[in-house]
Amino acid sequence: MRKRSKPHTFEQRLAEYRQRLENEALEVPDGEMRTAIAKRIEQLQLAADMNAWLTREK
């Protein structure tokens, strides 16, 4: 029987996606596409910050 891999956490998935977008932004010339990527990176950071705030222990 095949062994299942351990699922990644939400934080890990956000960080991996952010890293992929940052690498992509380095290869794209300045313009609308790079601006859109930068905006998406900001949204991912906000999502990570909100998740940290919502899941912090009291």
Over residues 8-37, mean pLDDT: 94
User: In whole numbers, what is the pLDDT of the chain averaged over residues?
Assistant: 90
> How high is the pLDDT of residue 7?
78
> How high is the pLDDT of residue 58?
59
Residue 2 has pLDDT above 80, yes or no: no
> How crowded is residue 17: how many other Cβ atoms within 10 Å of its Cβ?
14
Over residues 17-41, mean pLDDT: 95
> How high is the pLDDT of residue 40?
97
Contacts with 8 (C-beta within 8 Å, 6 or more apart), sequence order? 16
Contacts with 51 (C-beta within 8 Å, 6 or more apart), sequence order? 10, 11, 14
Residue 6 has pLDDT above 90, yes or no: no
Q: How far apart are CA 53 and CA 48, in angstroms?
A: 9
> How high is the pLDDT of residue 19?
96
Q: How far apart are CA 25 and CA 14, in angstroms?
A: 16
